[in-house]
Amino acid sequence: MLRVVQSPIDPAFVQNPYPFYDRLRQAGDLVWWEDYAMPCAVSYAAVHALFRDRRFGREVPPEQAVTPPAYLKPFYDVEAHSMLELEPPRHTRLRGLVLRAFTSRRIKALAPEIAALAHARIDQFPVNQPFDLLPAYCQPIPVIVIARLLGVPDEMADQLLRWSNAMVAMYQAGRSHETEVRAAKAATEFTTFLRDYIDRRRAKPADDLITHLIAAEEHGKKLSTEELITTCILLLNAGHEATVHTLGNGVKTLLNHAITISTETADLTCEEILRFDPPLHMFTRYAYEEVDAFGHTFRRGDQVALLLAAANRDPAQWEDPNQFNPTRAITQNTSFGGGLHFCVGAPLARLEMQIALPILFDRCPSLSIAEPPVFADSYHFHGLERLMVTTA
C-alpha cells in the first residue's frame, strides 16, 4: 500500500486538494495517509463498498473508548446520543423515529418558504459594490430553514449558527485546546436552550419538527429528552453546514465556468455540483472484525477513512471527472454518504439548492466574482471562507 504524507492544513492542499486525490487513486483502491495514520479508500468502488459493509461502522468499539477530559464532557454528552455516531440497534431506533417526523411531505412543503427567503435575501444585496455572498445568501437560507423546521424563531438563527460552528470545528484538522473549550461552551449553551424549548413544546405543541419528534413513537418507545436535544443539534449542525458549503462552492463553480442554472436544469446541475466539489471530503469507519478488503487486512478497531471527494472524481466511474459538466447524466455520488448512515437531510439539502441557486442566477444575471475565492482551513470539510461577488 502506498504511504503518503500530506498535511490537511497545508495552504495549497486546502485551496485545491484534487491533484492529491488524483495521485492517490493512481496507487489503487487504498492508500496509507501518514498524517492520519490510517488507510484511506480513494476509489469509487472502495468508498461505495465500505459505506455498505456492515463489518465497519461509526461507533467506537467499547474496548477502544476513551474517557474525555472533564472540560469536554458537555460536548461528548451530546455526541453520546447522536445517531451519526451509533450503530444498530440504537441507530435503527433513533433514525426510524426521526424519519417519522422528518417526512418527505414536510420537506416538500418548505419549498415556498425557501423561495420567499431567497428573494428576501437578494432584495437586501448591496448595490454597485462587492459583498460576501456567504453571509448575505448562502449561510442564512439553510440556517433559517432548519430553524423554522424545528420551530425556533428566525431571530435565533445567528446564535444557532455560532453554536453550530463552534461544535462542528471539533471535526476539523488542527483543532486546538481553544477549539475544544469553545465547543464545550457551545454544547452547554445549546443544550440549555433546547431543553427549555422542548419543555415549552411539551406544554404547548405546535406544527414543527420538535413537536413531531416529541410525539414520534416506535414500538412504544419515544425519544428521551437527551436524545431529542442531540437530534435537534445534529439536524441543525449537519443540516446547515454542508448546505452552506455546497451553495458557496456551487456558485463559485458556476461562475468560474460561465454557466447559469434554471429551474429546468436544476436537478442535473445540482447533482454535478455535489459530485464535482462536495462539502465533506472524509468520513471514517471502524472495523468490527478482521476484514480482508481491497488488498488490506483490517483488524478489529482499525479505522479507515473514506475520501468522498476522491471517489467522486474517479475516472473509472465518470468520464472526464475533473471537468464540470452540468448536463452529465446522474450517477450516484458519495457526497451524502451511503449505507445505513446515508444523510437524513439529503432531500432538504437538494431542495434548497434546486430553489436557491436558480433564483439567485435569475435575479442576478450579472453576478460575477469580485476577487479570488478563498477556501477555509477546515478539512475534512471543504467550503469557502468568503465569496466576494458583485451584481453590477
Which residues of the chain are under the pLDDT cut of 70? 218-219
Determine the pLDDT at residue 103.
Answer: 86
**Domain CATH number, residue 279:** 1.10.630.10
In sequence order, which ranges of 257-345 are alpha helices (DSSP H)?
266-276, 308-311
CA–CA gap between residue 387 and residue 380 (Å, rounded): 20
Domain that holds residue 272: 3-390
For 14, 163, 183, 245, 377, the CA distances from 19, given in Å and listed in that order, are 11, 34, 32, 20, 17
- Whether residue 74 is preceded by a cis peptide bond, meaning omega within 30 degrees of 0, is no
Determine the pLDDT at residue 217.
Answer: 72
Q: How many CB atoms lie within 10 A of CB 288?
A: 18
CA–CA gap between residue 366 and residue 369 (Å, rounded): 10
pLDDT tens for 215-255 read: 887 667 788 999 999 999 998 887 778 899 999 999 999 99
Q: How many domains does the chain have?
A: 1
Determine the pLDDT at residue 219.
Answer: 63
CA–CA gap between residue 320 and residue 313 (Å, rounded): 8
Q: Global pTM?
A: 0.94
Determine the pLDDT at residue 132.
Answer: 98
> Which cell numbers hold the place of 93?
431506533
Name which of 51, 57, 40 is nearest 332 in CA terms.
51
